[in-house]
């Protein structure tokens, strides 16, 4: 049965990566109305997905268990972001309930603000490795609307199933910590480009990971040859000089760079570029297309997509956008679900905004935008700093979330 909601629930925090791998060895289908983030059920190539459950306490001991392998997990920290178990987490900066007449309570560090929902965000190819920087404006605006942001970085790979599994492992690891502080919250998946594709795969092939809703920005399910023209010609290893130069900054200059906010950006840029040599290795091993293939993704989505509400958001100047195609597939999935479960309501909406494929990325940090708006006014600031489309994206997302009472 398709869950009526997807929430994160508090459970034991004693999972290990080896145990997690064993749990994915056998198929299992969730039949409950909620899913516990840290519940251990066997799923093929899958993991148990979150429910932020009963609040155990009002305080949480932060355990920054980053399994990404970075030498210093704090090197990429910007603003109020936290690195928790390999996820970038941003707590809500105000409390806003859905609806027009909302009382807004600004964030007080001494107050435990209850988020409206958890937004699990996945960015696009390559830039999804540092989502808290590349999508900073978008995500900080959503936090300002009262949402708890969990942005999971991932390494781009030809094997999307392994990528999904890695993403969900990180998400499950942070869920108990958040559950103890906030209690039960619905989980909304938002993805951009490749991240949107991963969200669809998670909702199709990982049945123990239900979502209250999914928002798919600039969905793209093209084969490598079309998604990345001249793919192999442009891939080259990162020169060792870059890493050597970066190592030299671990001196007095580090403090200065940190103070002006440059060090995290430089660090995350290098981390992002480090994905390229790994992709080169996959090409050398014979990889030429994604697994599953675009045809397999369409087939799986048409038969097994489970999210109750889906927003498909595209841009009018995006040559690789496939919003129309995914809408057709998800409406097919809705028809199949209605035949099997007539009482289940599935909502699929599609909207288009002005802009291009990278519009969600093109914006300054929220504090910079705020200062510019104070000086120049809202419209002038958006025009001059080039984030009109990113702001419109946030507005469309919040409007859709409000409609779903999230």
**In the chain, how many domains are there?**
1
Range of 323's domain? Answer: 7-238+274-352
| CATH code assigned at 178 | 3.40.50
Please check whether residue 244 lies inside any domain of the structure.
no
- 131 near 122, Cβ under 8 Å? yes
Within-domain flag for 44: yes
Can you read off the two tokens belonging to residue 189? 């998946």
In this prediction, residue 185 carries a pLDDT of: 93
Percentage, residues of the chain above pLDDT 90: 38
Is the bond preceding residue 202 a cis peptide, omega within 30 degrees? no
Beta carbons of 106 and 99 less than 8 angstroms apart: no
| Contacts by 37-44, CB closer than 8 A, 24 or more apart | 37/8, 37/9, 37/11, 37/171, 37/172, 37/175, 37/176, 37/179, 38/9, 38/10, 38/11, 38/12, 38/13, 38/172, 38/175, 38/176, 39/9, 39/11, 39/208, 40/15, 41/208, 43/206, 43/207, 43/208
Whether the Cβ atoms of residue 301 and residue 326 lie closer than 8 Å to each other:
yes
Asked if residue 89 is part of any domain, the answer here is yes
At 307-325, the pLDDT tens digits run: 999 999 999 999 889 999 9
In a domain, 393, yes or no: no
Is residue 118 within 8 A of residue 52, CB to CB? The reply is: yes
392 belongs to a structural domain: no
> Does residue 377 belong to any structural domain of this protein?
no
For 214-255, what is each residue's pLDDT tens digit? 999 999 998 765 655 444 444 433 344 444 444 444 444 444
Interval 170-198: pLDDT, tens: 999 999 999 999 998 999 999 999 999 99
- Residue 13, pLDDT score: 39
Q: For residue 8, give the 3-state DSSP assignment.
A: strand
Q: Say if 381 falls within a structural domain.
A: no
**Is residue 403 domain-resident?**
no
pTM: 0.73
């Amino acid at each position: 049965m398709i869950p009526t909601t997807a929430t994160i629930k508090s459970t034991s925090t004693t999972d290990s990566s080896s145990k997690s791998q064993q749990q994915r060895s056998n198929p299992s289908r969730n039949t409950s109305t909620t899913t516990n983030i840290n519940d251990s059920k066997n799923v093929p190539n899958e993991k148990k997905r979150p429910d932020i459950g009963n609040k155990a306490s009002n305080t949480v001991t932060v355990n920054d268990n980053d399994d990404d392998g970075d030498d210093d997990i704090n090197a990429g920290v910007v603003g109020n972001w936290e690195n928790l178990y390999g996820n970038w987490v941003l707590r809500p900066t105000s409390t806003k309930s859905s609806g027009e007449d909302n009382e807004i309570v600004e964030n007080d560090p001494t107050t435990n603000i209850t988020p409206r929902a958890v937004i699990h965000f996945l960015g696009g190819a390559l830039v999804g490795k540092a989502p808290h920087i590349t999508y900073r404006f978008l995500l900080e605006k959503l936090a300002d609307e009262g949402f708890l942001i969990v942005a999971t970085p991932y390494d781009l790979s030809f094997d999307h199933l392994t990528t999904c599994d890695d993403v969900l492992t990180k998400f499950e690891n942070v869920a108990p910590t958040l559950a103890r502080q906030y209690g039960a919250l619905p989980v909304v998946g938002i993805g951009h480009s490749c991240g949107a594709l991963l969200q669809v795969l998670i909702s199709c092939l990982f049945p123990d990971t239900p979502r209250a809703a999914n928002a798919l920005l600039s969905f793209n399910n093209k084969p490598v040859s079309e998604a990345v023209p001249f793919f192999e010609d442009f891939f080259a290893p990162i020169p060792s000089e870059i890493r050597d130069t970066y190592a030299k900054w671990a001196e007095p200059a580090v403090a200065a760079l940190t103070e002006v906010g440059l060090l995290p950006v430089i660090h995350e840029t290098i981390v992002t570029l480090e994905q390229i040599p790994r992709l080169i290795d996959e090409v050398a091993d014979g990889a030429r297309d994604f697994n599953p293939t675009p045809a397999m993704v369409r087939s799986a989505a048409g038969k097994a997509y489970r999210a109750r509400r889906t927003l498909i958001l595209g841009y009018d100047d995006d040559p690789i956008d496939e919003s129309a195609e995914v809408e057709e597939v998800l409406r097919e999935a809705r028809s199949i679900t209605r035949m099997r479960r007539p009482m289940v309501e599935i909502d699929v909406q599609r909207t288009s905004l002005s802009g291009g494929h990278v519009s969600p990325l093109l914006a300054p940090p929220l504090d910079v935008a705020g200062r510019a708006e104070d000086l120049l006014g809202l419209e002038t600031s958006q025009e001059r700093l080039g984030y009109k489309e990113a702001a419109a994206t946030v507005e469309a997302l919040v409007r859709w979330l409000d409609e779903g009472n999230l």
